[in-house]
Structure 1
Amino acid sequence: MGMFSGNQAQEPMHYGEAFGVWTAYSVAKGQLAAYQVYYNHVGDEELKKLLGEMVENVIKPGIEETEALLKQNSLGLPVAPPERSEANREDIPVGARIMDPEISAVIARDVAEGLVADSMVIGQCVREDIAMMFGQFHMKKAQMGAKLLRLNKKKGWIIQPPLHKVSKNNQTD
Structure 2
Amino acid sequence: MGILSGNPKDEPMHYGEIFSVWQASMVAKGAVSCYQAFLNHAGDKDLKKLLDAQIDQAKLEIKECDKLLTDNGIATTPQLPDRPSVKLEDIPVGARFTDPEIAAKISADTALGLVACSQVMGQSIREDIGALFAKYHVTKTALGFKILQLSKEKGWLLPPPLQIKRPEGV
- How do 1:85-164 and structure 2 match up within 5 A? 85-164=84-163
Q: Give runs of ≥4 in structure 1 deviating > 4 Å.
A: none
Q: Deviations over 1:23-54 (max 9, x none)?
A: 00000000000000000000011101111111
For 2:104, the aligned partner's letter is A
* Match of residue 13 from structure 2: 13
Cα distance per residue 1:127-150 (max 9 Å; x no partner) = 000000000000000000000100
Please list every run of 5 or more consecutive structure 2 residues that lacks an aligned counterpart in the other structure.
none
- Aligned residue in 2 for 1:29: 29
What root-mean-square deviation, in Å, do the aligned CA atoms of Structure 1 and Structure 2 show? 1.3
Query: Are residues 1:48 and 2:79 paired?
Result: no
2-structure distance, mates of 1:76, 1:2: 27
Which range is displaced more, 82-91 or 62-71? 82-91
**Aligned mates of 1:76, 1:88 — CA distance in 2:** 36
Unmatched 5+ stretches in structure 1: none
User: Normalising by the residue count of structure 1, what TM-score does the alignment of the two structures yield?
Assistant: 0.93
Match for 1:151: what amino acid?
Answer: L
- SS at structure 2 position matched to 1:157: coil
Q: TM-score, normalised by structure 2?
A: 0.95
Identity of aligned residues (%): 49
For 1:74-85, list aligned pairs within 5 A.
74-85=73-84
User: CA offsets per residue over residues 105-133 of structure 1, 9 Å max, x none?
Assistant: 00000000000000000000000000000
